[in-house]
Amino acid sequence: MKKVSRSMLVALSSFFMMMIVMCIAPKVEAAGVDINFPAERAIFQRGDNNTADITVKATFYGNADKVQARVRYADGETEWAELSGSGNYEGVIYDVEAGGWYTIEVQAVDGNGNVVGDGYRQKIGVGEVFITGGQSNSANFGGGKTTASHDEVSALNGNNGAWQHCADSQPCTSGFNTGNGGGSPWPTLGDKLYEKLGVPIGFVCTGQGSAKVSELAGNLYGNTKKGIDAVKPYGCRAFLLHQGEADAPGTPNDSYRADLLRLIQQTRNDFGYDINWIIAQVSYAWSGYNDTAKMNAHKATQRSVCNNYNIFVGPDTDDLQGDYRHTDNLHFSVKGLIEHGNRWANVIIDKLFTGHTLNADEWMEGGTVEQCGNTFNGGSVVTLSAVPDKGYYFVPGSFKVTGSEGEIPLENDSFIMRSEDLTVSAEFARLPEYFFTLDAKITEAESVDGNYYEDAGVQALNSAIEAAKAVFADVNSDETAANNAIAAIEDAIKGLVMKPFTDNGGQNPPADNNPGTPGNPGTSVTPGTTVNVGDIVAVGNVKYKVTAAGSVSVAGLVNKNKTSVVIPKAVNIGNATYKVIAIEKKAFTGAKKLKKITIKSTTIKKIGKNAFSKINAKAKFKVPAKKLAAYKKLIKKAGFKKMSAIKK
């Protein structure tokens, strides 16, 4: 038998010791992280950008270098957001897209990057949240229970902060909220909104049976406040009020209106912003009450509180009689609850989620308003922009917006959009004749090709042009200012010094080409067999500037009297093909007859300032479909403002 050496024994001993240590040493395993907020099925109110910021609160008492959270979508996830604290952690995941259900994942990570704790919260949504209130028909007094058919419709229990599927009877903050069959209209409303909007829907119920509006604004307001406090961390779109049965027979309309306005203001104070309100038209009290004049006056009072931009007229349910009512003939049957929910859905979609059009007054002359023809949701702030026709200017302060309520007040040319189509007008006045003379001189100066002149003279001319434009842009400029600007341009043109010609194919044209003179730029270099960077070459009626090997930019037109131009994907110069990648500044300035610009190139990355300045007022663009949005942005940045003239 072969003898084992001492060194081998030492090695074996070390190996076995290492194995023992590995077996008994503690492993790094993830412990639990408790997520305290949000609760499962929670829904956060989305903003105008279709996202919400989600606050996350978690507890972890282990050793962690950091605690972080993210939202996991079905097809991806957000970036990690770090939570601050020690033991108890809190942070915000910003800009979570509307939709759901999502999962919140929280990790505790040690200094080596190992996950030492984790936790998950499922069924989190970003969508639309509503608070409901009023009296029994806003709570759970329907003839039978209903349930939302879509899982993405939730109800918040304002008493304990838990969320649940929206199934009757609804959790409610009031003490008297359930009777008869325990049904409500909110599951039906939730289903209809989810089907229309495609985002999760949430409710918190605060209704109190038999409550008068004075009580809701007074001794019973605590129920509403409890609901507001519960939903406030999630955000809320609107307060939905169904109330009036208790007040219609005997409450004076002036008192009712004052108490309702007081209730609205209290809720807005507690939310911290002017939450939208939708007020149902309710006056039917019971089958024996049949005072039509009083009922109509009561509903008119409810409507009088509404302004159609953040307090809206809600559904009218007085006509729901017969089998739409429960056997008590006051509350709704299941059929009535479903119709009640449908009517709420129709109003909410129309008032809050349907764009309404700004129409131009048919008598408006001398210009347009840029926002006309566009749609805006009720409650949106719209700022108007005047676009004068050639030879006109906008008269400041002349905007006028009208709707069914009459003229709508403006502040700094802005107003709040109503949930209806509106008409906009503006006054435009014709400029004095000397403005036209100045404009013609500016156009003449801008047609000078600076490539042929010494830099100092070109800079002086550009300065004179900019100064003249400032005079032209100020409608208060007098004739003396215009004449001085014209004289400055003429002096600058006279001061231009021609660059010396070269015959080496460089930047300047060869001697047998006409470089043009101020006011008559002539034609650019005739295409040859070879060109260099910086050369300006005419191909057809378009001048191109060679910007690099294989690429050119559009520099202008040979003949500015043409009515159309095509900017191709590429041009052939000599024996080479050059991609069209840009349009130079002022390329088409002064082409007053140019009405049609067709851009076929899909590789344009830059359009210079004022590239389309002073072209025909009726000019239209046709661009590649896949570049429509990108080219609109480039063209607008270049100074052309009529986005409606750009089509694919």
Q: What is the pLDDT of residues 429-456, one digit of tens each?
A: 999 999 999 999 998 888 888 887 889 9
Domains of the chain: residue spans and CATH: 31-124 (2.60.40.10), 126-353 (3.40.50.1110), 356-426 (no CATH), 431-522 (1.20.1270), 536-647 (3.80.10.10)
Q: What is the dihedral of CA 610, 611, 613, 619, to 10 degrees?
A: -140
Backbone angles phi, psi at 408, to 5 degrees: -100, 130
pLDDT of residue 3: 46
| Residue 102, token pair as written in the block | 């999502």
Distance CA 422, CA 628 (A): 28
pLDDT of residue 390: 84
Strand pairing class (66-73; 414-416): unpaired
Q: Nearest Cα to 637, choosing from 613, 621, 602, 603?
A: 613
pLDDT band at 288 (very low <50, low <70, confident <90, very high): low
583: how many CB neighbours lie within 10 A of its CB? Answer: 25
Could you tell me which residues come within 8 angstroms of residue 565 by beta carbon, excluding any fewer than 6 positions away? 541, 542, 557, 588, 594, 596, 597, 598
pLDDT band at 28 (very low <50, low <70, confident <90, very high): very low
Higher pLDDT among residues 549 and 78, named by residue: 78
pLDDT of residue 36: 97
Q: What is the mean pLDDT of residues 612-641?
A: 92
pLDDT of residue 505: 40
pLDDT band at 170 (very low <50, low <70, confident <90, very high): very high
The one-letter amino acid code at 585 reads K
pLDDT band at 98 (very low <50, low <70, confident <90, very high): very high
Element (H, E) at 359: strand 356-360
Distance CA 431, CA 447 (A): 23
pLDDT of residue 530: 66
pLDDT band at 515 (very low <50, low <70, confident <90, very high): very low
User: What share of the chain has pLDDT > 70, as a percent?
Assistant: 90
128, 193 in Cβ contact below 8 A? yes
Q: Nearest Cα to 185, choosing from 314, 353, 328, 47?
A: 314
Q: What is the mean pLDDT of residues 182-208?
A: 98
Tell me if the pTM is above 0.75: no
CA atoms within 13 A on the CB side of 195: 12
190, 204 in Cβ contact below 8 A? no
Q: In the block, which residue shows the tokens 């990355």?
A: 605
Compute the mean pLDDT over every residue in the chain, rounded to the nearest whole number: 89
Q: What is the dihedral of CA 323, 329, 335, 337, to 10 degrees?
A: 160
pLDDT of residue 531: 76
